[in-house]
Amino acid sequence: MSEFDQTPETNGQVHDAYTDNWVDRLAPAWTRPYLRLSRADRPIGTWLLLLPCWWAALLASLGNGFGLRELWVMVGCGIGAWLMRGAGCTWNDITDRRFDAAVARTRSRPIPSGQVSVKQAAAWMIAQSLLALCILLTFHPLAIALGLASLALVAIYPFAKRFTWWPQIFLGLAFNWGAILAWAAVAGEVTENAVLLYLSGIAWTLFYDTIYAHQDKEDDALIGVKSTARLFGQNTPAWLRRFLIVSVLLMGAAVVGVTAPMDSLLVLVVAIGAPWAFGWHLVWQLQRLDIDDPDTCLMLFRANRNAGLLPVLFFAVSQLL
């Protein structure tokens, strides 16, 4: 039994997991370390990976009909996001195990706490990746190729904070790749509007992950890990405003690019509401931000699920129209 397991008040729970989450309450004991590796007790990351996929699937099919294929793309992306987020987080924990052991918020994760070995984690990562591949193979050939290409981004990301102050860019490139993939799965091609939506998602990732990184900035400084939170410091709100504006404008450009040729003013008006509702949610986050309060940073980071669901709602209503 490891020293971590002997601590009764933790009982293997991860520090920043949701209180009373289903993994800690309901999952069989032997599965909990693996589910914690996959962040099943912290679902916000799955949402942030999935939502750009849903934006793209809904926007790419706007005006062309929404049928069983499009529905399967959204369902498949949901399953795939859970699996690939789990595989990516497992890879991240394998590569970062020494850093995680030195940071208060992350030393309770399964590998540094001794709940699983590196070999067990690697086997779990491969299993999740193979299941995700089964989902991917049901998509359009272009989407399959794009999905396989994304593995390079996933592999690089954990090392980014070692060589750049902008690791959040690498996270954005990887986490929003689903927008390109889902667009290709629905439309069979990648258009300029897909690229605009992808870039919008990257700016959004810079926004929310900079907030997230402020939780660890003191520990990161001690161990030499780089982040935009450390880079921006007290100028963080000004940088976040820039990311907000860029994200909203790029999403708006993608929406106009899709809806303007449709010659339907009602659809255009409803769809263009997506970036503005999304933007107002980010403004709300900025108004409440306290970069020196880790609890507030975590709360605002998690609030981005609701921010990302707003475009899904507007695009879905546009589909009905």
Percentage, residues of the chain above pLDDT 90: 67
DSSP code per residue over 294-314 = HHHHHHHHHTHHHHHHHHHHH
Taking alpha carbons only, the member of 175, 200, 173, 195 closest to residue 184 is 195
Question: To the nearest 5 percent, what fractions of the chain are helix, strand and coil?
Answer: 75, 0, 25
pLDDT recorded at residue 110? 87
- pLDDT reported for residue 27: 84
Mutual orientation of helices 44-60 and 177-187 as an angle, nearest 10°? 30
Domain ranges of the chain: 22-320
Q: What angle do CA 133, 138, 143 make, to 5 degrees?
A: 80
Specify the fold of 22-320.
Tetracycline Repressor; domain 2 (1.10.357)
Show the low-confidence residues of the chain (pLDDT under 50). Answer: 1-10
The pLDDT assigned to 125 comes to 95
What's the pLDDT score for residue 16?
A: 65
What is the number of other CB atoms lying within 10 angstroms of the CB of residue 165? Answer: 15
C-alpha–C-alpha distance, residues 15 and 10, integer Å? 8
pTM for this predicted structure = 0.90
pLDDT the model gives residue 45: 92
Q: Are 183 and 190 in contact (CB under 8 A)?
A: yes
**DSSP result, 105-152:** TTTTSTTTTTSS-HHHHHHHHHHHHHHHHHHHTTS-HHHHHHHHHHHH
pLDDT in tens, 110-138: 898 889 999 999 999 999 999 999 999 99
Rounded Cα–Cα distance for residues 20 and 16 (Å): 12
- The predicted-structure confidence for 163-193, as pLDDT tens digits, reads as follows 999 999 999 999 999 999 999 999 999 999 9
